[in-house]
Structures are given as structure tokens and as C-alpha cells.
Amino acid sequence: MSLEMMTIAMFVVLILLILLGHPLAFTLAGVATLFGLIDNGGNVGHLFDMFANNCWGLMNNYVLVAIPLFILMAQLLDRSQVANQLFEALYIVLGAVKGGLGLAVVLVCTVFAATTGIIGASVVAMGLLATPALLSKGYQKEMASGIICASGTLGILIPPSIMMVVYGGLTGLKETSVGNLFAGAIFPGLILAGLYFAYILIRCNINPELGPPISREEANKWSAKQKWFMTLKSLIPPLALILAVMGTILAGVATPTEAAGLGALGAALLAAANRKLNWVVIRDASYSTMKTTAMVMMLFIGGKFFSTVFLSMGGGDVVADLMIGSGLNRWVVLAIMMGIVFLMGMFIDWAAILLITVPIFMPIVMELGFNPLWFSILMCVNLQTSFVTPPFGYALFYFAGVAPKGYTMMHIYRGIGPFIVLQIIGLALLVAFPPLITWLPELFFGS
């Protein structure tokens, strides 16, 4: 079998097995084993050595220690009810504005994203907390679900983000270190939040029935001084945690792994301050952290093994020759790569997409002369759509699991459509204006 046919067959078999519903980590490793044996003539010993070396390299990667620490931070924050208090305060402050409750959801999710980085926690928490409030005030079902699903996914982009830690561990490049990725993702995350904010405000002012304000009587129950006090009281603790984590990284005081440990400690202190830190919370948070970390690391092992076998048999050269040797303009090649990631995001988990595409795309990006940090953030912004694009967007199913009676998947699919368009607009802005990504990393860490 020719190298080109082997490359095509490897991806066809992978996609078929994924669509059949087999566990992703084992599918990646199994396909790698099958085609690795075909490529090396059935030399099991050589393939086992390759697998063992991959596992050893992953276990020795200091950056990946940040993954369980950030997950633990998210689990503790989820149980400390920080988001609940902030939403209640913003409900009072913004409720009188058309679309104000939707704006409150975006703001809470943006703050929550900068402290957790776990999509499931954000979408489920806001789905349980905000959906009844939105619907009781007359919000359209589609608008409510779209706001919560889109805003909840900001956690995968706004640092500290598990995706950035995985990406930095995959490339091993100085330009795409976790610190640079965190700094580069701040403005893109805020731009997406700003686009959601502007869309809700404009759309609800044009058609107030989509997001009506709360009554004046309810809004005027509290004085301006009380509103300020409630907002600051609920906002200062999470902002202090964000400063402790991101501030130490950007100031060069701590590595991302050390900052993750500081964040986990800070989340525990917040939970204690809210009288939510007890043995049951610690036990449940630790157990959830163990399960999530095990899942991520199994994906990492399977994906790393898949990419190693794929590159060792020359598949990466086939793809690179196809794209670079085609004579296409480099911007067309970039559009093709972004299109591939977007389409994969409709069917496959973000971690698998990273593990499959980054080892293949990064050499092409370097060859075409693109800034690797800029491209990496474009990838991460693009991958945020994987959580909300039908038919298999994870955030959509997280929300469906906690949605009140009367919600159907079609309500959720229709509601998320405009926000997918906003994400694509945000991606286009980052392509057109690279300093939106590169300026902060250059400011804090140099060129």
C-alpha cells in the first residue's frame, strides 16, 4: 500500500470508529497500533518501545501537572457558589435593562471562565442557576439557551484554560509556552464576550420580547449604594483569585504549574469563606478531579501515540506536501486548516482534534511563515466552536441535561446559531488584526 493510501486509510478508519461510538482514547491508540504494525511489517517490539517512550515522555512533562490542579480549582469553585452570588448581584444591577439578565449571564460566565476553565461546570451551573430566572422573566427559550451555551464555553479559551495547558505540552515550542498562550488568549476571550454582550443588547432593544427587563418595582427595591455593595462583595473574591493565578504567571513570579497550585489553594479558601468547605466537598471534588484527569491523560496517551505513528510512517509529509506543494496562497492554506478544525469540531472532542492536528499543522505553519503563537490561538478560538456546533456540541448536551421541561434539542440548536456566527466573526477579527493576540505576550514575555 502506498504512503498516500495509508494516510487516507488511517483517517478513514479513525473517523468511522469514532462515529460508531467507541471510546476516543482507545480508538486513537488502536488505530495507531493497527497501522503501526502494517507500516513496520508486524514488528511488535518496535511498536511497544515507541508506545512506552511516548508514555514516559508524557509522565515526565512538568507542565501537565497543572491539569489536575486547575481541575481541582474548578471543582472547588463550582461548590463554593461564587457564581451564584455574582449572578444574584448582577441580576439586580442589570435586570432593568432590556436583555439585562442575558448580559448578567455573559458577565458571570466571563468571570467564572477566568477561574475555572471547565466547560461542563460553567454550562451546568449557569443552566441550573440562570435558566429559571430568564424564562420566568419572559426570555425566549432559544435566546436563553444560546446565551448560556455560548457564554459557558468561554472557559475553554479565557485563561487559565486546560486547552492551553494541553496545547503547550503538545508543541514544546518556546513561542507556544503555556504562559504565552495564556497571555495571547486574554484579548480573544474578551472580544468574544464583548460580541455576545453587544449582540444581546442590540437584539433585545430591537425586539424586547426576546429579553424583557424586570419590573421597575423589583429593580428599585435596592438603592444605588446597596447595588454597588452587593456587586463589589460578590466580584472581589473571584477577581482576587484571577489576580493570584494570572497575575503571578504574567509577572513571571510563578510558572503555570505553580500558579495552578496557588489557584487550587485560593479556591479552597473561597469555599471555606462561604462555609462550603467540608469533608463531603473535598471528597467529591477530589474524586471528580481524579476522573477528569484520568480521562484527559488517557486521551493524551492515545492521541500522542496516534500522531507519533502517523508522523513516523510519513503521513505528516504527505499532508504538508499536499498543502504546501499545491501552489495555493498561504492564506488559502490557513483557511483550509481552519475549515478542517471547524468541521472536525462538529463530531470530535477538542482534545482529540488538538492531538491529531497540531503535530501535522504546526510544521506547515512554520514553513508558511506564520507566527506559531498567533496560529495556536486561532486554533483554540476555532475549537471553542466545537462545544456549540450541532450535532454533537458538548455544551448543548450539558445544557439539555439541566434544561427545564418544555425544552427540545431544536430549541437549543436554533438558539446557538447566531452565537456560532459571532464566534466566526471573532475569529475573522483575530486573523485580520494579529496584534490582538501577540501584543500581550510581547509585553510580558518579549518577542
Tell me the residue type at 46: H
CA distance 6 to 8: 6
Q: Residue 8, class by beta-carbon neighbours within 10 Å (0-12 exposed, 13-18 middle, 19+ buried)?
A: middle
What's the mean pLDDT when you consider all of the chain? 83
Q: Is the preceding peptide bond at 160 cis, omega within 30 degrees of 0? A: yes
Residue 338's H or E segment, with its range, is: helix 330-345
More confident residue, 423 or 314: 423
Confidence band of 118 (pLDDT split at 50, 70, 90)? low
102: CB partners within 8 A, 6+ apart: 134, 139, 143, 144, 147, 200, 204, 211
Confidence band of 447 (pLDDT split at 50, 70, 90)? low
Residue 190 pLDDT > 90: yes
User: Span 229-236, mean pLDDT?
Assistant: 78
SS3 214: coil
336-357 residue pLDDT tens = 999 988 888 887 777 778 888 8
Q: Does the CA dihedral 170-172-176-177 come out positive or negative?
A: positive
Domain extents in the chain: 1-60+302-312, 61-277+313-445
Q: Is the preceding peptide bond at 359 cis, omega within 30 degrees of 0? A: no
User: Span 280-304, mean pLDDT?
Assistant: 83
Question: Phi/psi at 97 (nearest 5 deg)?
Answer: -85, 145
pLDDT at 436: 94
pLDDT at 1: 63
Cβ atoms of 156 and 429 closer than 8 Å: no
Q: Is this model's pTM higher than 0.85 or not? A: no
pLDDT at 375: 94
Residue 418 pLDDT > 60: yes
pLDDT at 121: 65
Tracing cell 444581546 back to the chain, one arrives at 200
134-152 residue pLDDT tens = 888 888 888 988 998 898 8
